[in-house]
Structure 1
Amino acid sequence: MKKLLFLFCLSLWGCKTVEPLDDATANLNLWNEKKIENYSFSFKRVCFCPLEYVGPHQIVVKNGKISTVNGAPYNKAERYGVMYTIPELLQVIKANIDRKPVKQTLNFNPTYGYPTSVFFDFSEMIADEEIGYEITNFKVN
């Protein structure tokens, strides 16, 4: 019995406490493991916003940078607002999680880690401050 107790204590001594990862961090790690630099997807914002901002927008990423949006060269000053690569969007999602929303929905692709649909409501008392993102038609190029 003493040997068993000793082995149990020894096994606990070798364990480390690990901080749990939030979904955005875990999926960013999964995405980074894949080392995907060239891909395309359809991006849509879920918000009370002008339609040209909402989308959906067809985004092509080459060498880790947005190349085109809706078939035209990407320009951050365009009327579509800022577009994101997958790692950038995962960072935005992490920042939104850190804001401690009152409601959130997080769905990620299990193979690549990109967000398929996420939604945040930051205040039950304020209308139209919610934001969400949807990614469809993801393709590695």
Structure 2
Amino acid sequence: MRTTNFILGLAVLAGCGGSPALTSFDNELAQARTNWAARNLRSYSFTVSKSCFCPVEYTRPATITVRDGVAVDAPVHLAAYSTIDKVLDALEAAHKSKPDVLEVDFTADGWPRTLRVDPSAALADEEYYLTISNLTSL
């Protein structure tokens, strides 16, 4: 189990051409994707719970079933997190948006157990948390 904790305003830029350097988050996300792909798990279920300043029906835990890599029963409000690949894509997008806080706890198998995103520490109520549990092969 690894925890990644970033204050992205401290990101280091590479010397050549001002391109952003690969951060340890980029490397850890790439490793998570590799570990997840190595499982070759195409049919599985998992429980996802989102905590945010949003309607209560959006914060109820939901069990999602994935068959052959496609979610078959994900709630619409969790579409961005309806497969582990989509969760990893959402993490990459969150990272690219340069939030003030991005914390992720990856399992050894490459799926994020918990994540916390706070786009702006100066704003209230836009941060969110996601918990993924009970991942089971089908």
TM-score, normalised to structure 2, is: 0.74
Give the corresponding residue for 2:119. 122
User: Which one is further off, 97-106 or 84-93?
Assistant: 97-106
Correspondence list, 1:1-141, <5 A: 21-69=26-74, 76=76, 80-82=77-79, 83-110=81-108, 112-141=109-138
Percent of aligned positions with the same letter in both sequences?
A: 27
- Number of equivalences: 114
Larger Rg: 1
Per-residue CA shift, 1:76-112, capped at 9, x if unaligned?
Answer: 4xxx4424200011000111112222112110111x2
SS in 1 for 2:71: strand
SS in 2 for 1:68: coil
Give, in whole Å, the separation in 1 of the partners of 2:129 and 2:99.
Answer: 12
Structure 1 unaligned blocks of 5 or more: 1-18
Structure 2 unaligned blocks of 5 or more: 1-21
Give, in whole Å, the separation in 1 of the partners of 2:44 and 2:36.
Answer: 12
Give, in whole Å, the separation in 1 of the partners of 2:41 and 2:111.
Answer: 11
Give the corresponding residue for 2:7. none
**Letter in structure 2 aligned against 1:57:** A
Give me the CA root mean square deviation. Answer: 1.7
Give the corresponding residue for 1:9. none
**Letter in structure 2 aligned against 1:36:** L
